[in-house]
Structure 1
């Protein structure tokens, strides 16, 4: 009997030692994760993120943040998908299909004006200057905006530059009703201009110009009218969040911290952005995307305002004017409250958003 009792006691002692080892091992792993700045797997918050378009150079900072574990370090398990236009990205976030997205803030202004009480919020302005514009070829004879009258415009209906074309026309004194619109898929837009089936197109500068060059058009044969050059002081793309996610400030702040860190790195070394995009899409034309990223950084992201105030924020007075102008361009009955379109309360401190001059 004494032997049996001793065996039972020995077994209990071994089980106790095993449990202790497992407990200590778990504590060690948790401590190591904390030191590395990575939350334990059980603490990860899942987030579905949608881009406005395919994986390209200008959106590569998001991929860098994902690949380098910056989101994971904030306790976020981020799933990232390409999109099919800004309006679609806004709808994805508004319906809750996605928690967070990257979209044209002007499409957001329109959505919020039509959906009071269900507003989607922009929390980080990425494109301080918009990339919107009109593009044509010298062979069309179009040399100034007034020459667009009576011509044929080709664009996807959801294209942000197309949707803001009436506002551009108003700024330059053009009667937009004289322009014939041809609905094109994004894949056919630049090709249709090259072939001559349309006279001009709308599109992001860093997309349309480079896509035309990729089709054999010489840079000197491209004529572009960028909206920002004609006193259209609107903003471009930003990070937007669903109403449900707006109630989780720590999650939003963590996402923005990770994103700002990656964007600063890409601004300082664009090659890491292109490498991240190429990893996601092996067929990516890396030279083309490097130029696209360079154009977007110089023209849309690293503006004088951003260099002085850091990425992500807006000038309140300028933003209020842009909301009013966009509402008028879209023929909205009223303009939404600017505070219900953009909020800077989730942004990291200014020091963490500053970029090299």
Structure 2
């Protein structure tokens, strides 16, 4: 009979912990438990090396990667609080993430880009999976095009202005400038190494323009300093990066959370006349649609679709329903990746991690079974239930 080593380790861990609590003093229990093998962690902090060997275990994101990648968004608010409380950022290596990483490692980048769509019920871990994949892109020195939570553009726009270059379109100047800062933070180092330049000349006004051959960083800084041009500069920047990828000058990883918002029929973007603006008339959408086409190479596209992106109005988590006919046909063909609730091994490892951080205490097997039942092994629900423990 073949045994799952990790299941055996988990069982022995729980039995050992119970025995320690029963027979040892408090100080002895802490000392003995520290000496037990930490089965729920892996020492491999480079996601480029993550395989099924590291599956179901936590890995620690180095501080420099955390500050570079997630300062501008990309992690749930509750998770950010946990990071601050525990003084470390740890991701659980999920099977869905390992699957995507294996595809990215074995892709023929000379072919048109592959598109991957993560789907699953709210709270199952799609955002954290995208954050893990984002770390992989950074570790493998790819240019990152990361939109942390696309619905923010259409639900809480900070400013709406009529486009001066595209009739019938609106710009989101402040949101666009904020995204450029996020892009610059994530990619400043790799852009400095690659020394990419513009392939076209751009005229922004009678006095301001960007000459052909100018560094891309100059284009980015202009969008940050001159907010009114930020939306058009994002369109120009993504076009330049696509051409650079096609020419083999760089590799690019596009990651968008809540991608199905681009195909919704309801937004909170309004014109001066109080008319609602659909996503296809927001200039930032142009860049997102161009990036997720399959007409370029030396890159990959990983997006998530989520009921929460459209206010939980849909009855299914499947991409076909969430994307709608237009969105589905835009991405087709793509690889669907299901992000499920925790397995039993993942659930026990998560609880052992919380015990290790001294967040959860005095939680015996009966309490664990109750938490498993109440949360349905949903990551978000489990964090909520464990918050007051």
TM-score, normalised via structure 2 length = 0.28
Larger radius of gyration: 1
- Whose helix proportion is higher, 1 or 2? 1
- Higher RCO by CA contacts (8 Å cutoff, separation 6 or greater): 1
